[in-house]
Chain A
Amino acid sequence: MSAQALQMPRWMDLVLLPLWNLLIALAVAGGVVLLIGASPTQALSVLLEGALGSARGLGYTLYYTTTFVFTGLAVAVAFHGGLFNIGGEGQATLGGIGVALLSLWLAPRLPGVVMIPLAIVAAALFGMAWAAVPGYLQAWRGSHVVITTIMFNFLAASLNGYLLVNWLRPNGSMSVESDAFADSARMPAVHELLAKLGIDWPSSPLNLSILLALAACVFVWWFLWKSRAGYVLRAVGSNASAAHYAGIKPRWQVLAAMGLSGALAGLVGVNEIAGVQGKLTLDFVAGAGFTGIAVALMGRNHPVGIVLASLLFGTLYQGGVEVSFEVPGFSREMVVTVQGLIVLFAGAMAMVSAPMFARLYAAVARRRGAGAAGGKSNG
């Protein structure tokens, strides 16, 4: 095993290798499906049909996609700053808390055009604050951001539980959730808007947050690759000490990367709480923060890749629900398994197959070189 950089063209590294790893993960998942006595082909066709085969299914798929774009971008921005943010779960929870507190307070008095932008700002600020603390602790106190963000996930869940049980739950209510918000705090659903235009679209949780998600993608792309601040952030991410010599203060960049990352994760609160629930609930993030890790890995930390990977996981989540209804003995946790396998094979073991592809490429290149130059060795 050599540690030298493997010789590979860009398309191989960016497209072929991730697809190959995805294929291995799906093959192992297919093995699990066989193991529990179901048919992988049937499961796959029900999955695709359920996720993409109907307008309603597509609505659900795009709703999941929206959430995963936010958490995937959050992981990617932190990654470009050289940090691994596993705290998307907690930051998204705080985003939801921000939306809920503001909506319960102001929504009865404000119209939607004012309320919705305020709720978006609240979600971003709450998520930002929750990520900034681990960022500060990493930059100034030297505690590792991976560990602190894990701890902050649990702290966020405790905080949400405490707020709901002790303060936000209406008196006498048994279920642990807040009052419903006034209508002005609801992110408009896509099917309602289409109905106003006279287009009939089945009801689904898909709401205007998807436009916010796309805007976030464009912003992240512009920020990271077109703005000065993003350049500085990436410089620190690729070599903090070199950046320091160049006059950049790495500590502030760590704080900025975590803050922006947390703000993006916090926007999940807009989709889930303002868009779908209309009230604060327990555990509304439901693992989306971790799915963001898989999304960022598959999407190679680039907004375009993240949109594609989010679509993949949105399809898996929506299709997985349908499969669990239709195929006996099948549970929707299969999706979590597939997600874990993708993180394992496309993330942790991403480079296992790389030497094979590099050898293959070298062999093809050598043969081609030999054919063209009449057997001249290309060393």
Chain B
Amino acid sequence: MDEVLIGSVLASTLRVTTPLLFAALAGLLSERSGVVDIGLEGKMLSAAFAAAAVASVSHSTTLGLLAAIGVAIAMSMVHGFATVTHRGDQVVSGVALNMVAAGLTVVLGIAWFAQGGQTPPIAAEQRITGLLPQWAEPTPGSWMASVIGHGLLSHNALVYLAFALVVVVWFFLERTRPGLRLRAVGENPAMVDAAGVSVPRLRYTALALNGILCGLGGAYLTLAQNASFSPNMTAGRGFIALAAMIFGKWKPVPTLCACLLFGFLDAVAIRLQGVSLPGIGEVPVQLIQALPYLLTVVLLAGFIGQAIAPKALSKPYVKER
């Protein structure tokens, strides 16, 4: 039975890590450009709602995905307008976006679908399903089929996209000219400005990319992981992603590791309920659920390594004259 357990824990870890990874990479792009993004939660929630609403009405996965991305980009642009153009407080703007998203998704859901805030279920044909359905369940007795097949290869395209994006974001930030500029604008915007590159344009670009990724993360929740939208279904994932990004010290690969760790904790939390671990005893499920937050606080306090934020983070840029 070990192979079944390992295979299914591996599979569910990857599944719950995916939305965290999309959102954490989104936050990373925005924060490396110097714009704090507390609004990840709200953007994912709105995107999840948009994807479910559009896909269930139009019967098109593509339209659902586009709607999710569109809504998330629009919210990122509002954030940019408030904080980059008008130098408003980035945290306040993020808090506002989260509130608007938490309220509006339910208001519109009830008004349009009259199902207590849920969207109608999305038909099986429109859902994004596993690429290799023969491994949808673990096979007892076969390590190959359970761990490699079910654990690693049974997932849908968005899961693999999320993991591939870690490499893409890393390459973009570390090896390309626009990526270098994006990092520079988060550390020393005056220097970037002096070099003749527009600070607002770079920050808006980072926010647009952030919107695309948040949109994918939200769409994953309703088109792949669940079959409909329900109120507040992100349930703090945006904040766990924020924690993962900080835990990953604002770098793509460590952020991936943090997302995997938090995803693993989430995947085993249910399985460990009421189970007595050797030497530790029974671990309360609330403790496992709280661990991502606890670990992030401990890291931020400087007790495990050091997390150094981009220097210009949260500081609006005032062009010198």
Contacts and interface: CB of A to CB of B under 8 A. Distances in A.
Contact of B103 (A151, A338, A347): A338
Nearest to A341: B100
A368 interface: no
B89 interface: yes
Nearest to B232: A333
B121 interface: no
Given A158-B290, A329-B111, A344-B82, A350 B95 contact: no
B88 A37 contact: no
Q: A interface, by DSSP: helix, strand, loop or mixed? A: helix
Interface stretch (B18-26, B133-141, B191-199, B281-289): B281-289
With most chain B CB atoms within 10 A of its CB, the pick from A165, A166, A340 is A340
Given A141-B302, A340-B96, A343-B99, A150 B287 contact: no
A348 B231 CA distance: 25
Contacts of B286: 158-159, 161-162, 165
A144 interface: yes
A349 B103 contact: no
Contact of B297 (A86, A143, A337): A143
Contacts, number: 159
Given A86-B95, A144-B300, A351-B87, A155 B100 contact: no
Interface in A147-170: 147-148, 150-152, 154-155, 158-159, 161-162, 165-166
B53 to A, nearest CB: 13
A350 B88 contact: yes
A279 B296 CA distance: 32
B300 A147 contact: yes
A146 B99 CA distance: 17
Contact of B38 (A150, A155, A334): A150
B239 interface: yes
A343 B103 CA distance: 13
B318 A347 contact: no
Contacts of B83: 348
Contacts of B82: 344, 348-349, 352
A211 interface: no
Contact of A339 (B97, B103, B287, B301): B103
Nearest to B308: A142
A32 interface: yes
A161 B104 CA distance: 27
Interface string A1-23: 00100000000000000000000
A297 interface: yes
Contacts of A337: 99-100, 103-104, 107
B92 A347 contact: yes
B318 A3 contact: yes
A70 interface: no
A290 B114 contact: no
A154 B235 CA distance: 11
A137 B96 contact: no
A142 B106 CA distance: 38
Nearest to A3: B318
A347 B98 CA distance: 14
A151 B296 contact: yes
Interface of A: 3, 32, 35-37, 84, 86, 137, 141-144, 146-148, 150-152, 154-155, 158-159, 161-162, 165-166, 290, 293-294, 297, 329-331, 333-341, 343-344, 347-352
Given A331-B110, A348-B89, 6 more contacts: A3-B318, A151-B294, A159-B290, A165-B286, A337-B100, A352-B82
6 closest Cβ pairs, A-B complex:
A340-B99, A337-B103, A336-B103, A143-B300, A36-B111, A340-B100
19 contacts: A37-B111, A137-B301, A141-B301, A142-B302, A144-B300, A146-B38, A148-B300, A151-B239, A152-B293, A154-B236, A162-B286, A293-B95, A330-B110, A333-B103, A336-B106, A347-B88, A349-B86, A351-B86, A352-B82
Interface of B: 36, 38, 78, 81-83, 86-89, 91-93, 95-104, 106-108, 110-112, 114, 117, 231, 236, 239, 242-243, 246, 284, 286-287, 289-290, 293-294, 296-297, 300-302, 307, 309, 318-319
